[in-house]
Structure 1
Amino acid sequence: MSDQVTLTRDGDIAVVTVNNPPVNALGTAVRQGLVRAMDDIDADTSVKAAIIIGEGRTFPAGADIREFGQKPQPPALWEVCTRIEETTKPVIAAIHGTALGGGLEISLGAHYRIADPKGRVGLPEVLIGVMPGAGGTIRLPRIIGIAPALEIMVSGRQVPAQEAHALGIIDRLAETDLLDDAKTFARALIAEGAGPRKTSDRTEGLGSDAENAAALQAARDGIVKKAKGLYAPARMVDSMEYSLSHSLLEASHYERDAFMSCLGTPQQQGLNHAFFAERASSKVPENGRAEPRPLNKIGVIGGGTMGAGITVAALNAGLNVTMVERDDESIAKGRQNVEKVYARDVQKGRKTEDQKAAIMARYIPSTDYADLADADLIIEAVFENMDVKKEVFGILDKVAKPGAVLASNTSYLNIDEIASATSRPQDVIGLHFFSPANIMRLLEIVIPSKASDDAIATGFALAKAMKKVPVRAGLCDGFIGNRILAKYGAAAAYMVEDGALPYAIDEALVNFGYPMGIHAMGDLAGLDIGWSNRKNKAASRSNDTRYTGTIADRICENGWFGQKTGKGWYVYEAGSRRGTPNPDIDAIITQARADLGITPRDFTEEEIIRRYLAAMINEGAKVLEEGIALKPSDIDVTFLFGYGFPRYRGGPMKYADMYGLENVLNDLREFEKEDPKFWKPAQLLVDMVEKGETFDDLNKRALA
């Protein structure tokens, strides 16, 4: 076969094993080995059935993404799947780990499938801007139907083995050893005289021509339309439709052409960048220099929304958690906040009562800091006030064991100053979670000046355990995310003062791909948070900088804080998360413009986006200049996972590359004429344009 594919025999059963660590990716050598194995199986009259299985931790997890965009080496993956399907002996795919994309397509080429109960399958190509290209759109709908197949493809989700079995993708679930059970399955097929069962010939998932046409149209009207900004879902439907009336060979060629049409589109470039940026975010110097400290038990100070969310994230990671609150009433509320998350899971069938009880057994509520004496890491999640945080860290310095990592969940505050309240600043780091902390995947790991490498590495280890996406952030006001947010938030505030309606700005952002606009997001987070922050910084505000809070302050002075009060930029009916424009805002804006001496003007949607993104990208370049972010892709990851930036656009710095850095600089210089201080281009951006460089060039240098 090849070094990556071996063929062994157990009596009249051939076992084809793929061994291409770490995930058995379907690279050229694997594809060639699988074809040769099928040829040998067909030629050997003593073989009555065959099994394809993966060595190590998984069945082939998918195509080798490194080959995308390169000249393909034969055989193509669709040819391998077809060759497996044409084998004259029954072929069983024995799935464990994750059979995703090409991995599932290989198994669909097989005639039968058995899976480990913990396995997962899926066709997640949409997550990198492409679609199945090796028979996925042809074979899967024939088994499970057009609508379920499209849901799996367009969502990109991983389908648990039990669900895949219920759908009919998997024929059997293994009960003992996967290979042993696969051999038992093979012997049963041999005994029954069962021959190959070609997936491409199956029709049980399909209906009549009219029913199929209706399902395809419903997909175009529904699931495809909802996949806003994505090109691949429509091509999936096209490929499914074509396959219903053409031969397997013709359909395979059509599907492959549709796949190729996705490559190189802006959406594919953005999604592909996002895929690799996420994986590169944990590649930081500290992880290369030190091992993380032990991490078994953690403490959480505070049981409010954030503290409870962090606690749930830690419990879900299998950690033991002690939560400390200031009094019995507060800790009772903290426990209630944690329990209601798991009660909801039980209600929705995601967990059983026994599973909930087992998780809560690892949770210890307390009002005594001394109960944190054996914690490996302690996360402070109290009110965003420096004096309060320093008081907490002073107490932790006395009770925490030597070597415990002490972390602050601050959004803005100087962690060096927080660390100064302790005698061990080398143990202090920032862990900026995003709310709700048990759901939002971003975790900014903030690096104060005296933090040790192993303390920082422990923060990254916690992120991995919690399945968070970590981003290393240097120390400054707001770190990466909130610092840049403040800048483009100011640009939005200036546009409202100068004539743009807040609702027009939000509409432009939604059309750009955001799930909601910045004013709707402010209502969701609570306008009082920004108001408090502006008041705290009032004394240090520069007199030569245009103030951003004139209108927002007046909204807050009315007691309108957004969704929590039922009124902010928008008005919210009781129990509703969707608002309608607040009719009282217009008078506030009109009066503020008059007080500021501003004659309003019109803004086009195109100008709104140009200004919003220019402010974001320019501040991102300054964050890079100052070393707050190590590489542009870390800024992209921050905004993709923490601030709703549309994933198919890759993040603000990737978008800047695709828009053109020279165009960004020209926009900044145009806007600079009206406010030279706010719109002054970052020197890094100026230098990059002069050198003809891109942010992707900086990413490559950072990862070299």
Structure 2
Amino acid sequence: MQFEGKAIQVREIDNGLYELCFDLSNEPVNKFNQLTLGELKDALTQLSAVENIKGVLFSSAKESFIVGADITEFSSLFEQGEAGLIAKLLETHEIFNAVEDLPCPTVVAINGLALGGGFELCLSTDYRVMGEKAKVGLPEVKLGINPGWGGIVRLPRIIGIDNANEWICAGAEKRADAALKDGAVDAVVAQDRVREAAIDLLRQCAEGKFDYAARRVEKQSPVKLNQIEQMMAFETAKGMIGAKAGPHYPAPLQAVKTIQKSCGMDRDRAIQAEVEGVAKLASGPVVKALVGLFMKDQYVKKVSRGYEAKAEKVTQAAVLGAGIMGGGVAYQSASKGVPILMKDINEAAIQLGLDEANKLLGGQLKRGRIDAAKMAQTINRIRPTLSYGDFNTVDLVVEAVVENPKVKGMVLAETEQHIASDAVLASNTSTISITELARSLKRPENFCGMHFFNPVHMMPLVEVIRGEKTSEATIARTVAYATAMGKTPIVVNDCPGFLVNRVLFPYFGGFNGLLQDGADFRQVDKVMEGFGWPMGPAYLLDVVGIDTAHHADQVMAAGFPERMAHEGESVIDRMYSLERYGQKNSKGFYRYELDRKGKPAKLADDDVDQLLQGAVGSARSFEDQEIIERMMIPLCIETVRCLEEQIVASPAEADMALIYGIGFPPFRGGVFHYLDEMGLAAFCEMAAKYAELGPLYQPTETMQQMAASGATYLNAQSNKHAN
């Protein structure tokens, strides 16, 4: 028997043993689209009819196994309503059940990523052999849903309730050793032996050495737990997972509830409970927002790949300035395999940078993510230097000295003399104009901004800033280097604050206005954290650093005086004058003490109210909704201005930049999703209530025109940009 499709091929590999191989044509990875599912159904029908079939191996011809469902196809199913979605999910279950019900033993060779539906297929087989470098997992909660093709039903029966709760609710990718330890796979072998080992196991099953039928009975039967054991397993989990996920992300808690409901059922009834749970989530707004973010993230990656295709690879980098930021850049580059020179003008600064890299690597070593050999290899890729001696070998230099235009201009001009004529110079500046900094350079076309966010190792965003004379080759190489460092680069055009800081300071402007009108900064923090921000504006200012924010505030006021200049003393001005710089000197809006892990813990400071007198108004109460509106309106309008002025190329890139750069609440889908869901007419009507607060609250003309016509941002640009 032979089956030759565009996604699946079936062939006999031995007497009675067959191999079903996934190899989706014209795609770099295997994924479950309608084509693949249709061919899988047909192939299984043919295999089921083969007389004296002894076993089936499931494998992949690509580096990955199956990375999951094709979201571009399946996201449209969420709009069909609960009944339509349930029917479609049950169709796929029939296919996966057919895998589980084949009249012979089945083994899967997991040679690479097996995620979502890809791993659910693996769970449908009798045995799983995994390569040592492969990863498996059920990441559906990251899209706001639950596994819907059998993961909820089969995983608890294979690895136990507690493990399944953790796997499904965290949505993490599991390495081979963890998967073996929990019992999710039966063997882990060297990467080049996965198929060979899987075939060997399949032969032993065919010879009757393993009881595959008993495994099937266990997978298709209720979980053997009494009422007390169930209560202990689920009630504790619901409390812990519900608290961790929070009120805005219902998928993890729904997963636990569905596992609890279905674990006492046989397979078919459990599957019905699973699909009903998925359908319930899919009808909510969080799924639409998170799936939209996934699509935008894919679009941003596609844009980056376009630049990378035109870029020369960075094989040797350098960073100027070896403080915390420089050390962070050096660590990130070295940890991703790109050697880097770290230059400063004195030994103490060099040591500070090395200490930062060593601290980060030490943390990884302690958590077991690297071993001592890997730590040594990474440190050896960081070469400290006090001179420009080897800078002629560098492809790209990141300047990370003090945020002062004169100092930066002098250092950049000096560095340009010591690097190759085609090397890229990039400034890690958060506020200073790239076009202005380029005036001190002989080759401004080789210069751009490369704005990292602090802490470098944790923050995924890098703004790549194009100056007036920056060449496309420079942008391409910088994007390629940022991607090689494991970051998400988003290209923006030059303006005060670029994209993220330009949008952030109107938000702080709304905060300052609230305090001047008598709001309590603690209430504002609590309300905005309840809205979904990881920290409220006062806490965020403390983390950013009041001195840093004060400088940036002056830059923004000078760049956009009609909107961002303010009369009198702001709360940022007051805090700065009092030298309350936030976490960096342990006092700001709050005070800070190191906890047991050495991290600054936020504590109340009873002195702050008195210290702020004169910079804030007489205390009065505010409704939560007014606080949200006064904070969010300026941020949304400024983001729209950045799109209209082509500072950022698309709504998708703007949304991802704010989520990755300042923690815009992901479940709200980004600024443009937020605006589209509210409706521009409703937004403009809301903004009109605060017209007396000034230009920050005035929607643009284009916004008002779009509001009148009922237009939306993401749909209006869907032919050009990701939705």
Which residue in the other structure is 1:180 paired with?
A: 196
Residue among 563, 582, 596 paired with 2:605: 582
Per the alignment, residue 403 of structure 1 pairs with 422
Which residue is 1:18 aligned to?
Answer: 22
Q: Give matches, 1:96-111, under 5 Å.
A: 96-111=111-126
Match of 1:455 among 464, 469, 474: 474
Structure 1 counterpart of 2:627:
608
Higher mean alpha-carbon deviation, 395-404 vs 571-580, is at: 571-580
Q: Indicate yes or no: 2:15 matched with 1:9.
A: no
- Structure 1 residue 609 displacement after superposition: 0.7
Deviations 1:64-97 (A, max 9, x none): 2122333676973222221111112110111122
Distance 1:186 1:502 in 2: 65
- Note if 1:651 corresponds to 2:658: no
Question: 1:413 is matched with which residue?
Answer: 432
- Equivalent position amino acid for 2:153 in 1: I
Contact 1:165/1:172, CA 8 A, preserved across alignment: yes
Q: Is the partner of 1:703 in helix, strand or coil?
A: coil
Structure 1 window deviating more from structure 2 (310-319 vs 572-581): it is: 572-581
Say if 2:447 is the partner of 1:442: no
Question: Structure 1: which amino acid aligns with 2:628?
Answer: I
Distance 1:261 1:692 in 2: 29
User: 1:79 and 1:152, CA in 2 relative to 1: closer, same or farther beyond 3 A?
Assistant: same
Matches for 1:17-416 after TM superposition, within 5 Å:
17-20=21-24, 21-65=27-71, 66-70=73-77, 76-175=91-190, 176-197=192-213, 198=215, 201-202=218-219, 207-228=225-246, 229-284=248-303, 287=306, 291-416=310-435
| Structure-1 separation of matches of 2:400 and 2:540 | 22
Equivalent residue of 2:720, what SS? helix
How far the C-alpha of 1:290 sits from its partner, in A, is 6.8
Structure 1 gap ranges (5+): none
Residues in 2 aligned to 1:514 and 1:69: alpha-carbon distance in whole angstroms:
29
Change (3 A) 1:608 1:570: same
Query: Alignment length, in residue pairs?
Result: 699
Structure 1 residues 94, 540: CA separation in 2 closer, same or farther (over 3 Å shift)? closer
- The change in CA–CA distance for 1:6 and 1:675 in structure 2 (over 3 A counts) is same
| Helix, strand or coil at the partner of 2:32 | coil
Aligned residue identity for 2:114:
A
After superposition, the Cα gap between the structure-2 partners of 1:540 and 1:261, relative to the gap in structure 1 and judged at 3 Å, is closer
Partner of 1:677: 695
Q: Quote the Cα distance in structure 2 between the aligned partners of 1:275 and 1:653.
A: 14
- Kept in 2, the 8 Å contact 1:534–1:549? The answer is no
CA 1:306–1:255: 2 relative to 1, 3 Å:
same
After superposing the two structures, state which structure 1 stretch, 41-50 or 53-62, moved more. 41-50
Distance 1:298 1:548 in 2: 45
Q: Match for 2:13: what amino acid? A: D
Residue 563 of structure 1 is matched in structure 2 by 583
Secondary structure, in 3 states, of the residue corresponding to 1:93?
strand
- Give the AA of the match of 2:70: D
Aligned partners of 2:343 and 2:384 also within 8 Å: yes
Following TM superposition, by how much is the alpha carbon of 1:570 offset from its aligned partner in structure 2, in angstroms?
A: 0.8
Letter in 1 for 2:46: D
Measured in 1, the distance between the counterparts of 2:277 and 2:159 equals 22
Q: How large is the RMSD of aligned CA atoms in angstroms?
A: 2.3
Indicate which of 705, 708, 715 corresponds to 1:687.
Answer: 705
Q: How far apart are 1:32 and its partner, in Å?
A: 2.9
- Distance apart, 1:47 and its partner CA: 2.6
In the TM superposition, residue 476 of structure 1 has moved relative to its aligned partner by 0.6
TM (norm. structure 1) is 0.95
- Residue 593 of structure 2 is matched in structure 1 by 573
Whole-angstrom distance in 2 between the partners of 1:614 and 1:192: 68
The corresponding residue for 2:443 is 424
Alignment of 1:550 with 2:570, yes or no, is yes
Distance 1:536 1:270, change over 3 A: closer
State the match for 1:482 in structure 2: 501
CA distances 1:208-231 after superposition (whole Å, capped 9, x unpaired): 332122211112111123212112
Provide the C-alpha distance between the structure 2 equivalents of 1:558 and 1:443, rounded to a whole number of angstroms. 32
* Contact in 1 for aligned 2:308/2:480 (Cα 8 Å): no
Q: CA deviation at 1:366?
A: 0.3
Moved more, 21-30 or 108-117: 21-30
Alignment partners' CA distance in 1, 2:405 and 2:290: 39
Distance, in Å, in 1 between the alignment partners of 2:569 and 2:167 is 45
Kept in 2, the 8 Å contact 1:448–1:475? The answer is yes
1:143–1:204 Cα contact (<8 Å) kept: no
The amino acid of 1:676's aligned partner reads G
On the 8 A contact 2:569/2:615 being kept in 1, the answer is: no
CA distance in 2 between counterparts of 1:225 and 1:330 reads 42
- Aligned mates of 2:613, 2:150 — CA distance in 1: 59
Instruction: Measure, in 2, the Cα distance between the counterparts of 1:540 and 1:650.
Output: 29
Distance 2:430 2:554 in 1: 16
Q: CA deviation at 1:591?
A: 2.8
CA distance 1:337–1:98, shift in 2 (3 Å): same
Residues 285 and 311 (structure 1 numbering): CA distance in 2 closer, same or farther, change over 3 Å?
closer
Q: Provide the rounded CA distance (Å) in 2 between the counterparts of 1:299 and 1:125.
A: 39
Give yes or no for contact 1:108–1:199 (8 Å, CA) kept in 2. no
How much has 1:402 moved relative to structure 2? 1.6
Amino acid at match of 1:38: L
SS in structure 2 at match of 1:578: strand
> In 2, distance between residues paired with 1:534 and 1:440?
22
Question: Per-residue displacement from partner, 1:101-159 (whole Å, max 9, x unpaired)?
Answer: 11111000001000111111111111111110111111111122222212222222111
**2: CA distance between counterparts of 1:667 and 1:74?**
40
After superposition, where does 1:488-637 map in structure 2 within 5 Å?
488-534=507-553, 542=561, 545-547=565-567, 550-575=570-595, 577-593=600-616, 598=617, 600-637=619-656
Q: How far is 1:548 from its partner?
A: 7.8
SS for the counterpart of 1:369 is: coil
Task: Give the SS at the match of 2:274.
Answer: helix
For residue 10 of structure 1, give the secondary structure of its aligned residue in structure 2: strand
Distance 1:600 1:532 in 2: 28
